[in-house]
């Protein structure tokens, strides 16, 4: 019953947070300059006032603000995120069409950055003060200080233009009509550069945080006791130091997982990756408010979901947290 009550409590809080985000985003988007009706009219080649009024009536833009807000919230509660002015199709269909590509990119970048970052941090902490520790820390600092767009462009110039090893842009080869494993291999080749570009920054963060956390835990009394008992250094490092040092890494990973979904705008734009980040950028330039609101809502929902998953992982990594709750 305690577990069920705790889960229900967190779900209620998550719903309230989502509602607050929904209202705030709606207010901010409608405060932005620009008239969607004028954008649509300009694309249609007509700018007379009668046509503008017809467009506003068609999409409900002539209604008072509070009515528009209530209609939007009611629609979201029914899993209706509105209609795209530009694409002439429901927003939920647009997002569901682009979301798999974003999840593939961000999921790959997340796994690569987490695994390589933790491994590099463990290696640096176990060789503290040596040349390998200095090398790993220097490389991590270099990746941390390098702008994402510059690393992406340099990767395209080196591995695509100069060496010709990897495709520079897109999700898959246009017109190849590949199927099965051949198509999977083609998508994987297109995925390498954007995933590495997106994961380099967080890989550096994981590396430095893992090293610092392990060095801090290594000075605690329970580790000294384990050494006094004569346990093997490898056992002490895995079962005592690393496990306790993982808690801040889990916290950062939970935050990063949510940020990556909505934060891949630059990477998807540079590599022409057909995800929701690029969809959001296109909607921003086209004043397509409903698409922007839909992407913001989905991104916020995924951040909250990842935070709930992080809380569960806390209890797995450190049973003391599970017992205290």
pLDDT tens, residue order, the chain (325 aa): 666 676 777 788 888 888 888 888 888 777 766 666 666 665 555 556 666 676 666 666 677 777 878 888 888 888 888 878 777 788 888 888 888 888 888 888 888 888 898 888 888 888 887 888 888 888 888 888 888 778 888 888 888 888 888 888 888 887 777 778 888 888 888 888 888 888 887 888 888 888 888 888 888 888 788 888 878 877 777 777 877 787 788 777 877 776 666 557 778 888 888 888 888 888 877 777 788 888 888 888 888 887 777 777 766 666 655 544 4
Half-sphere exposure at residue 95, Cβ-oriented, CA atoms within 13 angstroms: 22
Tell me how far apart the alpha carbons of residues 318 and 313 are, in angstroms, rounded to a whole number. 8
pLDDT recorded at residue 54: 66
pLDDT recorded at residue 51: 63
| Cα–Cα distance list, 28 to 58, 266, 293 (Å) | 22, 22, 10
Tell me how far apart the alpha carbons of residues 227 and 112 are, in angstroms, rounded to a whole number. 33
pLDDT recorded at residue 323: 44
DSSP result, 33-82: S--HHHHHHHHHT---HHHHHHHHHHTTTTS-HHHHHHHHHHHHHTT---
Classify each residue of 12-44 as buried b or exposed e, where b means 16 or more C-beta atoms within 10 Å of its C-beta.
Answer: eebeeebeebbeebbeeeeeeeeebbebbbeee
- How do the domains of the chain map onto residue ranges? 1-78, 92-322
Residue with tokens 């570009």: 197
Tell me how far apart the alpha carbons of residues 70 and 104 are, in angstroms, rounded to a whole number. 34
Angle value at C-alpha 242, between 237 and 243, nearest 5 degrees: 120
73 CB contacts (<8 Å, ≥6 apart)?
19, 22, 23
pLDDT recorded at residue 55: 66
Tell me how far apart the alpha carbons of residues 182 and 157 are, in angstroms, rounded to a whole number. 25
Pull the structure tokens for residue 268: 């998807």
Tell me how far apart the alpha carbons of residues 117 and 113 are, in angstroms, rounded to a whole number. 6
SS3 325: coil
Tell me how far apart the alpha carbons of residues 304 and 325 are, in angstroms, rounded to a whole number. 20
Pull the structure tokens for residue 279: 């969809």
Query: What is the total residue count of the chain?
Result: 325
Domain 92-322 sits in CATH at: 1.10.3720.10
Q: Give the closest residue to 214 by CA, choosing from 187, 238, 191.
A: 238
Pull the structure tokens for residue 74: 């009611």
pLDDT recorded at residue 11: 80
Classify each residue of 139-152 as buried b or exposed e, where b means 16 or more C-beta atoms within 10 Å of its C-beta.
Answer: ebeebeeeebeebb
Ramachandran class of 167: left when φ > 0, alpha when ψ lies in -120 to 50, beta otherwise: beta
């Amino acid at each position: 019953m305690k577990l069920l009550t705790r889960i229900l409590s967190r779900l209620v809080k998550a719903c309230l947070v989502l509602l607050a985000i929904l209202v705030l985003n709606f207010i901010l988007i409608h405060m932005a300059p620009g008239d969607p009706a004028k954008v649509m009219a300009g694309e249609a080649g007509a700018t007379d006032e009668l046509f503008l009024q017809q467009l506003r009536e068609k999409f409900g833009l002539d209604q008072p603000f509070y009515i528009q807000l209530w209609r939007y919230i009611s629609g979201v509660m029914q899993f209706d995120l509105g209609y795209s002015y530009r694409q002439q199709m429901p927003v939920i269909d647009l997002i569901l069409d682009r979301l798999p590509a974003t999840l593939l990119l961000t999921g790959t970048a997340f796994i690569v950055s987490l695994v390589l970052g933790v491994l590099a941090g463990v290696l640096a902490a176990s060789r503290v003060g040596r040349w390998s520790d200095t090398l790993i820390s220097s490389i991590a600092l270099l990746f941390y200080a390098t702008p994402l767009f510059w690393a992406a462009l340099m990767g395209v110039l080196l591995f695509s233009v100069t060496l010709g090893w990897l495709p520079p842009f897109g999700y898959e080869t246009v017109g190849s009509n590949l199927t099965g494993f051949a198509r999977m291999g083609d998508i994987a080749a297109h995925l390498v550069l954007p995933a590495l570009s997106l994961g380099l920054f967080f890989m550096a963060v994981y590396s430095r945080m893992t090293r610092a956390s392990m060095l801090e835990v290594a000075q605690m009394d329970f580790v000294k006791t384990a050494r006094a008992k004569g346990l093997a250094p490898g056992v002490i490092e895995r079962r005592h130091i690393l496990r306790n040092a993982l808690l801040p890494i889990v916290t950062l990973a939970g935050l990063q997982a949510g940020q990556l979904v909505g934060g891949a705008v630059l990477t998807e734009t540079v590599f022409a990756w057909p995800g929701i980040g690029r969809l959001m950028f296109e909607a921003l330039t086209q004043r397509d408010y409903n698409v922007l609101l839909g992407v913001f809502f989905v991104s916020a929902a995924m951040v909250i979901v990842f935070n709930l998953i992080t809380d569960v992982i806390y209890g797995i990594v450190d049973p003391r947290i599970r017992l205290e709750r």
